[in-house]
Amino acid sequence: MKTDAFPYAFFQGKIVPIEDAKISIMTNGLQYGIGFFGGIRGYYNEQKKHISMFRIDDHFKRFTNAAKILGGELPYTQEELKKITLELVEKNTPQTNFYIRLYGYISHTKLSPNLTDARFDFNSYMIPLEEYMPMGKGLSLLVSSWQRINDNSISTLAKASGGYINSALARKEANENGYDEAILLNKFGNVAEGSAENIFIVRDGTLITPGFSEGVLEGITRKSVIEIAQDVGIEVIERPIPRSELYIADEAFLTGTACQVAWIEKIDNRVIGSGKIGTITEKLKEKFFAAVKGDDDQYAQWCTKIKIK
Ligand code: PMP
């Protein structure tokens, strides 16, 4: 993937050429992973020459909440961050689907991990993004031997950079053993989520996903899929899911900004349901894609549209 497809980044208070957005190797956020991030998708509509950005306010709310959880301050308000982001998108004039990364981090170079009187620096850049997970097939997942971090070790509600070592270890184990992705169990031994995705199963027509006390991220795609399901009359339950319930689910899928809605064919080599995409998954996926692209008026409030000249 070309990372320089979008020539501008937001760095140290202004929009600069991406090659000038460089930090020192001594940076505290780099050395100890003391930072947090966010990521928003933008969908390019070639006919209408606009970009539709998905649930941008929810993303900034979660991003600013992460600063609060870590007990520090960002130099911008939620509204200012939104303005900066929209300016950066316009400056990069995207003509492709993309992902914009938001990053808050400790930028000083002092030795030792330190969040006392923390002031986070903020930067942002964009990359083209189509498929993150293979979309043309069902996913094959492995229940990881790595346990999902818990909220009393590293907050599970903040997308805390250092916490993603946990995700990377699980993903490595899955990929090196021929699986597309990992499912992490939590400290109770129940299902938590994928390395960067929430998980849903369907049983007897009911949609089930672990609640937040199971150590899952407050996924914005998760929230959207729950709302869509309720709008079409599907019952949704948030409750713990024991590992072996995964194997006997009728349907299962992952949700996330990057993977969107991705159906699961196998978990630990057990075929899920019929081994094909399930009817509920298919319906939710279809409605989700229409919503993110700004093609469904019912969810127009989720999309921020930007005209591309
Ligand atoms: N869980 C984790 C650990 C994640 O990193 C992500 C990606 N942000 C998700 C779930 C999905 O969240 P969202 O739908 O907001 O992208």
Residue 212 Cα to ligand 1 midpoint, Å, equals 13
Does any ligand 1 atom lie closer than 6 A to the CB of residue 287? Answer: no
Mean pLDDT of 223-235: 98
Q: Give the model's pLDDT for residue 293.
A: 92
Query: Where does the pLDDT of residue 1 fall: very low under 50, low under 70, confident under 90, or very high at 90 and above?
Result: very low
Q: Give the model's pLDDT for residue 73.
A: 95
Percent above pLDDT 70 for the chain = 99
Most ligand 1 atoms within 8 A of CB, residue of 186, 199, 257, 292 to mutate: 257
Query: Where does the pLDDT of residue 40 fall: very low under 50, low under 70, confident under 90, or very high at 90 and above?
Result: very high
Cα separations in angstroms, 246 against 13, 194, 225, 241? 46, 13, 19, 8
Residue 103 Cα to ligand 1 midpoint, Å, equals 15
Cα separations in angstroms, 290 against 104, 135, 217, 261? 31, 16, 24, 12
Residue 217 Cα to ligand 1 midpoint, Å, equals 6
**Distance separating alpha carbons of residues 266 and 279, to the nearest angstrom:** 17
Does any ligand 1 atom lie closer than 6 A to the CB of residue 260? Answer: no
Mean pLDDT of 43-51: 92
Token representation of residue 249? 């689910």
Q: Give the model's pLDDT for residue 135.
A: 86
Residue 253 Cα to ligand 1 midpoint, Å, equals 14
State which ligand 1 atom lies nearest to the alpha carbon of 224: 14
Is pLDDT at 25 greater than 50 in this prediction? yes
Residue 40 Cα to ligand 1 midpoint, Å, equals 11
State which ligand 1 atom lies nearest to the alpha carbon of 159: 5
Is pLDDT at 98 greater than 50 in this prediction? yes
pTM comes to 0.96
Half-sphere exposure of 57 (CA within 13 A, CB side): 5
Residue 193 Cα to ligand 1 midpoint, Å, equals 9
Q: Which of 281, 285, 256 is nearest to 59 (CA)?
A: 256
Query: Where does the pLDDT of residue 4 fall: very low under 50, low under 70, confident under 90, or very high at 90 and above?
Result: low
Most ligand 1 atoms within 8 A of CB, residue of 63, 198, 216, 225 to mutate: 198
State which ligand 1 atom lies nearest to the alpha carbon of 258: 16
Residue 102 Cα to ligand 1 midpoint, Å, equals 14
Alpha helices in 70-146 (DSSP H): 78-92
Q: What is the mean pLDDT of the chain?
A: 96
Q: What is the pLDDT of residues 242-252, one digit of tens each?
A: 999 999 999 99
Does any ligand 1 atom lie closer than 6 A to the CB of residue 198? Answer: yes
State which ligand 1 atom lies nearest to the alpha carbon of 62: 15
Token representation of residue 190? 């129940």
Mean pLDDT of 19-37: 96
Mean pLDDT of 113-131: 94
Kindly compute the dihedral angle of the four CA atoms of residues 280, 286, 289, 290, in this order, to the nearest 10 degrees: -130
Q: What is the pLDDT of residues 170-204, one digit of tens each?
A: 999 999 999 999 999 999 999 999 999 999 999 99
Is pLDDT at 87 greater than 80 in this prediction? yes
Residue 154 Cα to ligand 1 midpoint, Å, equals 15
Is pLDDT at 2 greater than 60 in this prediction? no
